[in-house]
C-alpha cells in the first residue's frame, strides 16, 4: 500500500524538479469546469516520515495555451499566448506570491515546445521538421530567471523586461534523416547537465496504433559551446509507444527525466491486449549509450490508471499519479 497519498485531481499537464530533501511536482488539473495549477512538494529526510504538501493552488492565467510547464524551488512557469503568434512565459513566484509575464521576442515556428531548467537558467526548446531534408531541428533559447528570487528592488515590469532582454539563441541541433511513418509524434525534448535528449514515436502504418519509440541523445557539456549543426551521437529504437491515460488528447505523456539527465522513466504500450510496461532509460555519455530495462510494478497498481510519472534519483524513487488522485512512490534502484 502507498505510504503517503494526496488527492491531486485529474492531471492534464505536469512538470517536476528534484531538490535536496524535496521533490517538486507542478500539475495542471481539471475537475468538471475548474482548471487549477498546483505545486506539490514531497518532503523526505533520513529518519523522518515522508510527507506531501500543497504549496500552490491557483487558477492559471486566461492566456495559458495548455502547453508546457516548468517548476523549480519558489517558481512555476507556463507558456502563454500574447497575440499574432507571439508568446510569453508566465512565471509565478509562489513563495512571495507575485507573477510576471516574460515576452519571448522570437517566433516559435514549431511543432513542439518544451521547457528545461539547468542552473537557474530557463531553456525554451522549439522543434521543427523539414519535409524535404527529413531533418528534425531543435532551436534552444536560454535566459536566466534568478531575478525572480534575487530580492532586488525591481518592479514586476522591470523584472520581466530584463529577463526578456536576456533571451538568447543558445544552439541549434539537427537530427538528420529522421525515419518517418504514416504518422509520428515528438513526445519529449529536454536539456540536462548530461546533454540533450529526445523521444519520438513513429507509427509505420495507417489505422494501426502500434509504434516504434526512437530515443536520441546528444552528450553536451555546455550548450553555448556546441556546434550550430550538432551531431546525433546515439539513437536506439524501442518497440511500442509512449502512452497517456486513456489515450486521451488532454492527458500528458507518461514520461519524465531526472534532473541530472541520467534517467528517464516512461510507460510503454503495445497495439495488443497486453498490459503496458514501466521502462527505465539510462543515458550514459562516456561512451554515448542508452540502456533500457523494464521495471516490476506491484499488482495493486494498474498502469492504465496512471495519469503522470516523475522520477527522483537521489533515493531511486519513481512517482506515479493515479487517476483516482493517489500518488504512489516506487523504488527502482
Say what the pLDDT of residue 1 is. Answer: 39
Tell me if residue 148 falls in helix, strand or coil: helix
The mean pLDDT value for 169-175 works out to 81
Most confident of 7-21, 123-137, 205-219, 228-242: 7-21
pLDDT confidence band for 206 (50 / 70 / 90): low
**Residue of higher predicted confidence among 211 and 175:** 211
Say what the pLDDT of residue 75 is. Answer: 95
The mean pLDDT value for 24-41 works out to 85
Most confident of 18-22, 186-190, 272-276: 186-190
φ, ψ (nearest 5 deg) of residue 303: -65, -20
- Scan for cell 525591481, then name that residue: 154
- H or E element in which residue 160 lies: helix 156-165
> What is the tens place of the pLDDT at every residue in 261-274?
999 999 998 776 78
- Output b/e per residue, 134-150; b: 16+ Cβ within 10 A: eebbbbbbbbebebbee
- H or E element in which residue 163 lies: helix 156-165
pLDDT at 311 over 80: yes
pLDDT at 193 over 90: no
pLDDT at 130 over 50: yes
pLDDT at 32 over 60: yes
Say what the pLDDT of residue 21 is. Answer: 81
d(CA 279, CA 267): 6
d(CA 237, CA 114): 22
State the cell numbers at 287.
561512451
Of the candidates 309, 263, 290, the one whose C-alpha atom is nearest the C-alpha of residue 25 is: 309
Q: How many CB atoms lie within 10 A of CB 236?
A: 14
d(CA 223, CA 142): 9
Say what the pLDDT of residue 185 is. Answer: 76
Mean pLDDT of the chain: 82
pLDDT at 6 over 70: no
> What is the tens place of the pLDDT at every residue in 67-122?
889 999 999 999 988 766 678 899 999 999 899 999 887 767 655 788 999 888 99
Whether cis (ω within 30° of 0) applies to the bond prior to 227 is no
pLDDT at 156 over 50: yes
CA distances in angstroms from 121 to 70, 144, 147, 289, listed in the order given: 12, 4, 11, 26
Amino acid at each position: 500500500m502507498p505510504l503517503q497519498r494526496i488527492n491531486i485531481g485529474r492531471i492534464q499537464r505536469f512538470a517536476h524538479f528534484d531538490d535536496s530533501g524535496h521533490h517538486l511536482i507542478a500539475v495542471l488539473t481539471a475537475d468538471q469546469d475548474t482548471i487549477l495549477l498546483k505545486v506539490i512538494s514531497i518532503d523526505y529526510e533520513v529518519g523522518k516520515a515522508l510527507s506531501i504538501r500543497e504549496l500552490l493552488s491557483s487558477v492559471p492565467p486566461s492566456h495559458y495555451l495548455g502547453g508546457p510547464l516548468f517548476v523549480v524551488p519558489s517558481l512555476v512557469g507556463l507558456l502563454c499566448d500574447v497575440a499574432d503568434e507571439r508568446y510569453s512565459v508566465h512565471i509565478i513566484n509562489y513563495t512571495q506570491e507575485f507573477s510576471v509575464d516574460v515576452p519571448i521576442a522570437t517566433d516559435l515556428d514549431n511543432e513542439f515546445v518544451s521547457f528545461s531548467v539547468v542552473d537557474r537558467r530557463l531553456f525554451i526548446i522549439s522543434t521543427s521538421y523539414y519535409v524535404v531534408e527529413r531533418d528534425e531541428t531543435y532551436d534552444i533559447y536560454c535566459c536566466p530567471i534568478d531575478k525572480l528570487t534575487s530580492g532586488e528592488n525591481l518592479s514586476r515590469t522591470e523584472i520581466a523586461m530584463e529577463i526578456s532582454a536576456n533571451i538568447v539563441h543558445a544552439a541549434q541541433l539537427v537530427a538528420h534523416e529522421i525515419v518517418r511513418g504514416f504518422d509520428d509524434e515528438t513526445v519529449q525534448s529536454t536539456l540536462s547537465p548530461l546533454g540533450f535528449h529526445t523521444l519520438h514515436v513513429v507509427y509505420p502504418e495507417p489505422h494501426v496504433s502500434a509504434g516504434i519509440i526512437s530515443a536520441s541523445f546528444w552528450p553536451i557539456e555546455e550548450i553555448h559551446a556546441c556546434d550550430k549543426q550538432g551531431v546525433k551521437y546515439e539513437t536506439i529504437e524501442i518497440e511500442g509507444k509512449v502512452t497517456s491515460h486513456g489515450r486521451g488528447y488532454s492527458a500528458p505523456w507518461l514520461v519524465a527525466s531526472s534532473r541530472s539527465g541520467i534517467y528517464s522513466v516512461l510507460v510503454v504500450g503495445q497495439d495488443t491486449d497486453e498490459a503496458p510496461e514501466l521502462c527505465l532509460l539510462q543515458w550514459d555519455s562516456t561512451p554515448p549509450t542508452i540502456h533500457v530495462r523494464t521495471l516490476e510494478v506491484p499488482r495493486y497498481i494498474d498502469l492504465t490508471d496512471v495519469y503522470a510519472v516523475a522520477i527522483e534519483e537521489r533515493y531511486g524513487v519513481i512517482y506515479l499519479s493515479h487517476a483516482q488522485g493517489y500518488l504512489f512512490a516506487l523504488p527502482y534502484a
